[in-house]
Amino acid sequence: MSITQQHTQEQLSRAYVMAVAGDAGINLLVSREHDYGIDGTFRPVRIIGSRRVESGIALDFQLKCTTRWEEQETCIIYDCEADTYNGLVSQDSTEEATRCMLLVLCLPDTREDWLRVTVDGLAVNGCCYWYRVMGEPTENTASRRIRIPKEQLFTCGCLNDLMRRVQEGQTL
CATH number, domain of 158, equals 3.40.1350
Q: Among candidates 171, 157, 170, which has minimal Cα distance to 20?
A: 157
In a domain, 149, yes or no: yes
Identity (one letter) of the amino acid at 125? N
pLDDT digits (tens, 9 = 90+) for 63-86: 999 999 999 999 999 999 999 999
Identity (one letter) of the amino acid at 47? I
- Determine the pLDDT at residue 1: 63
In a domain, 113, yes or no: yes
pLDDT digits (tens, 9 = 90+) for 33-45: 777 889 999 999 9
In a domain, 157, yes or no: yes
In which domain, by residue range, is 27 found?
5-167
Higher pLDDT, 24 or 56: 24
In a domain, 172, yes or no: no
In a domain, 89, yes or no: yes
- Determine the pLDDT at residue 145: 97
Number of domains present in the structure of the chain: 1
pTM of the full predicted structure?
0.94
Distance, CA of 41 to CA of 114 (rounded, Å): 25
Is residue 107 a contact partner of residue 12, using CB atoms and an 8 Å limit?
Answer: yes
- Determine the pLDDT at residue 160: 96
pLDDT digits (tens, 9 = 90+) for 99-149: 999 999 999 999 999 999 999 999 999 999 999 998 899 999 999 999 999
